[in-house]
């Protein structure tokens, strides 16, 4: 049984509107989501002793989300991740986007989907948010209608994304929650054991744009197909952290498959042509099935997070740019590596990389993807 309650979270400056908070609660989880950026502000999970702790980074007050901050808990778009130099060409026309991350456009631009007020609708087991992104917003073509739905079922939080456009436009939506399974305010994530079911990853240049290569994880720091303890793993490979897209594998085997969902037949390129050094993969049309992509275990509390998705990629980010300048809930100071993100999404800069999975939404089509965050105790 899930309860849904609604309350005022705060008022935007200059009479720009009221931000509401929606609390979804089951026997196993409690999730708080606000209408500003469809943002998850709190997520309480029980440990092996039955004690609940908040496992996401964020702020107790609206003012925290209105300051410059790294997308804590928000839905980002119109295109998540980076687009090289903030430009792309579509049907012979060049589009210039807002530049907000070095030379690139990141997470939708200066005023992306995380910095707008969404219209909520309460459901029996969740909440749906909607908005219309006008033609030309942050440089993107077409009017885009968007729906983001959060529903709760026991220990599983599902996030569904839908969009429709009246012009061809790139779309790539994700949630940018920062997790720390030890409990919000814990100093780092080094004692988390991480598994990512990916046989390949995307190397990046100095501005974190994919080079275009698709590289096997075998023998690299990116091989987390078997559990690794994060702190020891970073030390062993002498790396600063992760901020990379992992290419989720298709397989004819049925293990790890959580459930089937409707796919798209708009693109039938054989993915094995992109992964020439890897075993044969399914076509991109078959990538849009939900499977377990990641499992994170915190031994101290016993908490486990499993992530399932219908997307072809996940950006694993270890909070490398957190620098201690932000103070969050209960006075917690957010320093480097104090949280991790598993941003399920299309591959970064796909609009400029024709051999990446397709990112364009055309009139008459519907963009739809789902991600499941499943919490348990081990």
Q: Which residues are annotated as a binding site?
A: 81-82, 176-178, 243
355 is catalytic: no
Output the six-digit token pair for 337. Answer: 């590596």
What SS3 state is found at 189? Answer: coil
Partners of 147 in beta bridges: 130, 162
Residues 333/319, Cβ–Cβ less than 8 Å: no
Contact assessment for residue 197 and residue 293, using Cβ atoms and an 8 Å cutoff: yes
d(CA 198, CA 290): 14
Task: Please say whether the beta carbons of 164 and 142 come within 8 A.
Answer: no
**How far is residue 22's CA from residue 298's CA, in Å, rounded to a whole number?**
28
Binding residues for beta-D-galactose: 81-82, 176-178, 243
Q: In this structure, what is the dihedral angle of CA atoms 315, 199, 287, 174, given to the nearest 10 degrees?
A: -10
Sequence-distant (≥ 6) Cβ neighbours of residue 238 within 8 angstroms? none
Which candidate in 44, 193, 197, 343 is catalytic?
343
Q: Is 192 marked active-site?
A: no
Spatial separation of the C-alpha atoms in residues 326 and 69, rounded to whole Å: 8
Radius of gyration of the chain (CA): 19
Residue 14 in tokens = 């200059």
Q: Can you tell me whether residue 11 is helix, strand or coil?
A: strand
| Catalytic pick among 176, 192, 244, 298 | 176
Contacts of 161 (CB under 8 A, 6+ apart): 75, 146, 147, 148, 173, 367, 368, 369, 370
* Residues annotated as catalytic (active site), given as ranges: 176, 343
């Amino acid at each position: 049984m899930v309860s849904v309650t609604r309350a005022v979270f705060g008022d935007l400056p200059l009479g720009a509107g009221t931000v509401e908070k929606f609390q979804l609660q089951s026997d196993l989880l409690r999730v708080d989501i606000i209408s500003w950026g469809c943002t998850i502000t709190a997520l309480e999970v029980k440990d092996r002793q039955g004690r609940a702790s908040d496992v996401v980074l964020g702020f107790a007050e609206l003012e925290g989300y209105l300051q410059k901050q790294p997308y804590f808990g928000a839905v980002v778009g119109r295109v998540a991740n980076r687009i090289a130099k903030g430009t792309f060409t579509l049907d012979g026309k060049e589009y210039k986007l807002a530049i907000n991350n070095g030379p690139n456009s990141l997470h939708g631009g200066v005023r992306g989907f995380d910095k707008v007020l969404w219209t909520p609708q309460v459901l029996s087991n969740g909440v749906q948010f909607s908005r219309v992104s006008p033609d030309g917003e942050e440089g993107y073509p077409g009017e885009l209608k968007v729906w983001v739905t959060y529903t709760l079922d026991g220990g599983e939080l599902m996030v569904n994304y839908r969009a429709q456009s009246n012009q061809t436009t790139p779309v790539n939506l994700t949630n940018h929650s920062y997790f720390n399974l030890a409990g919000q305010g814990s100093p780092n994530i080094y004692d988390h054991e991480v598994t990512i079911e990916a046989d390949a990853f995307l190397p990046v240049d100095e501005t974190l744009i994919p080079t275009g290569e698709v590289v096997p994880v075998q023998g690299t720091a990116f091989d987390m197909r078997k559990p690794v303890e994060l702190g020891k793993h970073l030390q062993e490979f002498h790396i600063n952290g992760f901020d990379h897209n992992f290419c989720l594998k298709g397989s004819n085997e049925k293990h790890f498959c959580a459930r089937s969902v409707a796919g798209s037949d708009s693109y039938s390129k054989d993915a094995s042509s992109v992964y020439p050094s890897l075993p044969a993969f399914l076509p991109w049309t078959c990538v849009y099935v939900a499977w377990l992509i990641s499992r994170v275990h915190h031994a101290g509390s016993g908490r486990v997070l499993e992530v399932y998705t219908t997307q072809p990629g996940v950006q694993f980010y270890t909070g490398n740019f957190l620098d201690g300048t932000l103070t969050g809930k209960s006075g917690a100071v957010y320093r480097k590596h104090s949280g991790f993100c598993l941003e399920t999404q299309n591959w970064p800069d796909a609009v400029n990389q024709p051999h990446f999975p397709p990112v364009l939404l055309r009139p008459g089509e519907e963009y739809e993807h789902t991600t499941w965050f499943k919490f348990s105790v081990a």
